[in-house]
A and B are shown apart, each in its own frame.
Chain A
Amino acid sequence: MDAMIARLTDGLSPRAFGLLAALLAVLLAAPWIANDYLLTVLIVILYLAYTGQAWNIMMGFAGQLSLGHAIYAGLGAYIPAVLFTRLGIGPWVGFLAAIPVAAACGAIIGFLAFRFGVAGVYFAILTIAFAEFARIGFDHLTIVNASAGLFLPVAQLAHNDLWRLRGSPTMFYYVILAATVFALILSRLLLRSRMGYFWLAIREDEQAARAAGIDTFRYKMYAVMISAAVTSFAGVFYAFFYNNLFPEQVFNISRSIEMILGPIIGGVGTLFGPILGAFVLTGLAESVTSALAAFGVDLPGAKQIFYGICLLLVVVALPGGIWPWLARRLGVAERER
């Protein structure tokens, strides 16, 4: 335990520690300050910060580009939701059931790809194909009500029921905040572990990593499975927060794209990039939508075009993302590894 804490805090400057603590304090206090709208936006931001971190484990650390992460979130959403609506089993038990399924799904995709050197963008296409496969499959699966959608019963409760994840937006806000903090800690621990260094070696040069004796197949498999398992919790949250699930939405390729935008804009492979990216992107997108609404313009694709342009600009102008640049400005940049 002490070793873990040491690994967590080692190399963290007092300044970085202070900034993190200040941010956490603001986020903890947010429900008292923010109105309902702002709280909902914050929930969306933290949701994307969480999924972005989960995706970052695979792409940012191990260098495996997945564009089908919606499948893991989708499985994490559907399995507990079905168990809840059909059998009355609570979401946390459902989550425990979803973890191995999501990890196994990641293992299947990883096995198919890594065994044959289906790498890089072709790996990305395989991940999309699986997510699309799941979308169409769930669209025809009667146990989840197929394309008609699965609805979770909504009950007015006098108090928040954390065990059954029924309650007010404030409760959900703290749940996703806790998940985001957990993901940050997990990411740092992973990155500082033996496996984390192996991942970085694979990301930088797989041939060299293999030559150095790293079992690249095994560690890439671990990356996919851990990333999938972490992502599955986002699905649990999604299901119980929104209370309705449609395969067309849950498994849609747009979900996968939304998950990766935060880390890319914030900085792929950095610890804080996914969180920063989620704040920047969602904050800007909400501002754009509000501004358009204020002018009486209601364009259904405007937000997505905005995402597209953001992605384009970052890829062209700031390939490393915003965080490395900002970290230098704040004086909290970690020493070059």
Chain B
Amino acid sequence: MGLDVYLNVVVAGVLTGLVYGLMALGLSVIFGVVRVVNFAHGEMMSIAMYIAVVLFSSFHLDPLVMLVPIAAVMFVFGYALQAGLINPFITRPEHSQFLLVVALAIIIVNALLIIFGPDARTVQTSYAYDSFEIGPVIVDASKTYAAAAAIVVTAALFAFFRFTLLGKAIRACADNYTGALVVGLNVNRLYALTFGLGAACVGAAGTMMTLITDVTPALGPGYTLLAFVIVITGGLGSMPGALIGGVLIGLTEALAGLLFTPSAKSMFAFGILVLVLLFRPQGILGRRLA
């Protein structure tokens, strides 16, 4: 295998990794603020993927165009979930919250299975087979669009948390729960908002993911795990960490698929998780674990 083969795989891995990064960013935001581990994250992503697939097959709406509407739908879903179901659990023990979300995940996976059946569905865009040639590297057009969209959404989220009053209020909740209550922030509403934002991230990532891969109901748990691997690898609660972790895992999977067999690729992602836990348990960009 020549060097250009590796180069191609590396580029493809990085592009997919950016979409993974956006997915993990959603998880990181939710965990960083609400302190609830969203174990239904991958399942929420598959909801968004199915919305994109149905919109495309029924109305020929391109996922790239539907990115914002689907993210908005997922925002509402996330907001309602936090406000209705999870907020009363904020003071419950950690494993109790966790099991609540696990129950939700089981219900989502199997509801999707009942509604859509077990077969894989695809989005066949007009540009599905297009590619750009940059020197020796051939870049898949769909992956490029997906990665570009992921970068735009990520940038928007960063800007939101950095520059808007609402974003600052949410960060205040994350830094000091009691302090936020004392200065009169409506923490429950901000939590719901944050969960909505995390859901919107994963909704956007899911929409983009339909350009890269097929959709089946069974995908959810795998993506949930992947998101956790990325977040732990990148560093808990670190937003740039989630993105870097995503790229790292995307790259690992692509190279493992090339050098070994594609079906074994997630083994290497777990391998990275174990290495990180062994040598840098706080993650690449994370602060030390308490």
Closest to B222 in A: A132
Find out whether the CB atom of A133 lies under 8 angstroms from the CB atom of B92.
no
Instruction: State the CA gap A113–B274 with chains docked (Å).
Output: 10
Residue pair B264, A140 in contact (C-beta under 8 Å) = yes
Known contacts A112-B274, A304-B110, A308-B110: does B261 contact A140 (CB below 8 Å)?
yes
- B274: nearest chain-A partner, CB-CB: A112
B99 A300 Cβ-Cβ under 8 A: no
Q: Does A230 sit within 8 A of B, measured CB to CB? A: no
Contacts of A140 in B (CB 8 A): 261, 263-264
Chain A residues with Cβ below 8 Å from B273 are: 126, 129
A74 CB, nearest partner CB in chain B, Å: 15
Is A305's CB under 8 angstroms from B110's CB? yes
Q: By the criterion CB–CB under 8 Å, are B103 and A311 in contact? A: yes
A120 and B95 contacting across the interface, CB-CB below 8 Å:
yes
Contacts of B281 in A (CB 8 A): 116-118
Chain A, residues 96-139, CB within 8 Å of chain B (1/0): the string is: 00000000000000001100111011101110111011001101
A157 proximal to B (CB < 8 A): no
* Residue contact B107 to A309, C-beta cutoff 8 Å: yes
* Residues of the A chain whose Cβ atoms lie less than 8 Å from the Cβ of B105: 308
Task: Judge whether B263 and A308 touch: CB under 8 Å.
Answer: no
Q: Binary interface profile of B, 95-129, with partner A (CB < 8 Å = 1, else 0)? A: 11011101111110111011000100000000000
Nearest CB of chain B from residue A144's CB, rounded to whole Å: 15
> Contacts A118-B289, A136-B264; is A312 near B100 (CB within 8 Å)?
yes
Contact across chains for A301 and B110 when beta carbons are under 8 A apart: yes
Q: Determine if A301 and B264 form an interchain contact, defined as CB atoms under 8 angstroms apart.
A: no
Cβ proximity bits A297-320 to B, threshold 8 Å, 1 near / 0 not: 001111011011101100110010
When the two chains form their complex, are residues B106 and A307 in contact, meaning their CB atoms are under 8 A apart? Answer: yes
Please give the distance in Å from A152's CB to the nearest CB on chain B: 25
Q: Which residues of B contact A300 (CB under 8 A)?
A: 113-114, 118
Does A278 touch B at the CB level, under 8 Å?
Answer: no
Interface string of B229-269 (1 = CB under 8 A from A): 10010001000000000000000000000000101101100
Among B95, B107, B228, B264, the residue within 8 A (CB) of A125 is B228
| Interface residue B221 (Cβ < 8 Å from any Cβ of A) | yes
Task: Give CA–CA (A132, B111) in the complex, Å.
Answer: 23
Q: In the complex, A286→B113 CA distance in Å?
A: 20
**Looking at the complex, which one of A122, A133, A311 makes contact with B99 (CB distance below 8 Å)?**
A311
Chain A, interface size category, equals 35 or more
B95 touches A305 (CB 8 A): no
How far apart are the CA atoms of A126 and B275 in the complex, in Å?
A: 12
Contact B102 A311 (CB under 8 A): yes
- Asked whether any CB of chain B lies closer than 8 Å to the CB of A257, the reply is yes
Question: Is there contact, CB below 8 Å, between A121 and B94?
Answer: yes
Q: Is B278 an interface residue (CB 8 A)?
A: yes
Q: Return the contact of A136 from the options B37, B106, B266 (Cβ within 8 A).
A: B266
**Interface residues in B146-179 (C-beta closer than 8 Å to A):** none
Q: Is B134 an interface residue (CB 8 A)?
A: no
Asked if B56 is an interface residue, CB under 8 A from chain A, the answer is no
A45 at the interface (CB under 8 A from B): no
A120-B95, A129-B273, A312-B100 are known contacts. Are A137 and B106 too (CB-CB below 8 A)?
Answer: no
Does the CB pair B114–A305 fall under 8 Å?
Answer: yes
* Contact in complex: B113, A312 (CB < 8 Å): no
Does A264 belong to the interface (CB within 8 Å)?
yes
Tell me if A65 is interfacial: C-beta within 8 Å of chain B.
yes
Docked-complex contact B106 and A308, CB < 8 angstroms: yes
B277 CB within 8 Å of chain A: yes
Identify which of residues 43-74 in chain B touch chain A, using a CB-to-CB cut-off of 8 Å.
none
Q: Is B180 an interface residue (CB 8 A)?
A: no
User: Is B83 positioned at the interface, with any CB of A under 8 Å from its CB?
Assistant: no
Docked pose: A120 CA to B107 CA in angstroms: 23
Contact of A137 among B113, B236, B267 (CB under 8 A): B267
Decide: A121 and B95 in contact? CB cutoff 8 A.
yes
Q: Is A275 interfacial (CB 8 A cutoff)? A: no
Closest A residue to B113 by CB, please name it.
A301
- Interface pair B103/A312, CB less than 8 Å apart: yes
Instruction: Assess the B225–A301 pair: CB atoms within 8 A.
Output: no
In the complex, A120→B99 CA distance in Å?
12
Contact of B107 among A122, A132, A264, A312 (CB under 8 A): A312
Q: Chain A contacts of B113 at CB under 8 A? A: 300-301
Cα distance A168–B51 when bound, in Å? 49
How far does the Cβ of B237 sit from chain A's closest Cβ, in whole Å?
12
Contact residues in A for B225 (Cβ distance below 8 Å): 125, 128-129, 132
Chain B min CB distance to A268 (Å): 8
Q: Does B270 contact A (CB under 8 A)?
A: yes
Set of chain B residues within 8 Å of A257, measured between Cβ atoms:
102, 106
Taking a contact as CB atoms closer than 8 A, the residue among A65, A112, A117, A311 that contacts B106 in the complex is: A311
Residues of chain A with a CB closer than 8 A to B37's CB = 121-122, 125
Taking CB atoms, residues of chain A closer than 8 Å to B232 are 122, 125
What are the nearest 7 A-B pairs in CB distance?
A301-B110, A308-B106, A308-B107, A311-B103, A116-B281, A301-B113, A312-B103
Report A's interface with B, CB cutoff 8 A.
59, 65, 67, 112-113, 116-118, 120-122, 124-126, 128-130, 132-133, 136-137, 139-140, 253, 257, 264, 299-302, 304-305, 307-309, 311-312, 315-316, 319
List 9 A-B residue pairs with CB atoms under 8 Å apart, sorted by A's residue number: A121-B94, A125-B232, A129-B273, A129-B274, A301-B113, A305-B114, A308-B105, A308-B110, A319-B92
